[in-house]
Amino acid sequence: MAISVNATFSDEQRKLEGAYPINMYVVNSSQSGWDPLYYAHHTQDVYGYALTATGIVTATSQLYTAIPINMSDIKTGVAGEIPQVNLSVPNTDRAIEAVIQDQDYLRGREIYMLTAFAKHLPSGATAYHVGSSDDSNAYIKEKLYVDSVTSNEQAVTFVCKPKFVISNILLPRRRYTRECSWNYLGTECDPNSSILSATYATCSYTTASCEVRQNIHRFGGFPGIPKAGVILR
């Protein structure tokens, strides 16, 4: 897979001796907005560059938290497999697990993987500034999404995959549950205000509730999901 880089990055990578590369990760912890978490695979916290909600790298300095992250190779095959990468983070003191549990295990969230040479990171007077020749355009960037997460006392592992664009349309975010995921009487549930709210003040978010309200065509769940052996969150 070819990745375009600017001339500064290209010149640095051809040197036999030069600055070392740093792998950095930006995780969007918000399901509906932009709440980035910045991490770097480094021995200490380090200043890098901030990202916008659309994933554009800016010239604004941003402190990345140092954490040992093991990343597998991105592999594809001739059998049509979806390329994926595994990111493993030590689960020391359950600190990372606490983060993911508070954020629905980050399923479906974006992860940006940035690789930049240390000398091209922001320069400054603190120990966290390792750059000497700032260049916010000298990096390799890849974007994946969290597909699933596993955790134990040793590590938390994120399985990340790309999201494909279907007919250039971004499908709305949906929760894959048996129950309806729409807000009751909201625009997805009752766009024409046809439900008698005085009669039906609350909803159990089941197909039975929709049938009583003659609104089954607006049901926002997936009743075909098997009940046995499935944990619904």
pLDDT of residue 108: 83
Going from N- to C-terminal start, the domains of the chain cover 7-161, 174-233
pLDDT tens digits, 30-43: 878 899 999 999 99
pLDDT of residue 80: 55
How far are the Cα atoms of 126, 176, 199 from residue 135, in angstroms, in the given order?
Answer: 18, 42, 63
Q: What is the mean pLDDT of the chain?
A: 81
pLDDT band at 170 (very low <50, low <70, confident <90, very high): very low
pLDDT tens digits, 46-58: 999 999 999 999 9
pLDDT band at 176 (very low <50, low <70, confident <90, very high): low
Residue 111 has pLDDT above 50, yes or no: yes
CA distance 144 to 104: 17
pTM: 0.63
**Residue (of 125, 209, 214, 225) closest to 174 by Cα position:** 225
CA distance 36 to 93: 22
pLDDT tens digits, 160-169: 887 653 333 3
**Over pLDDT 90: what percentage of the chain?**
27
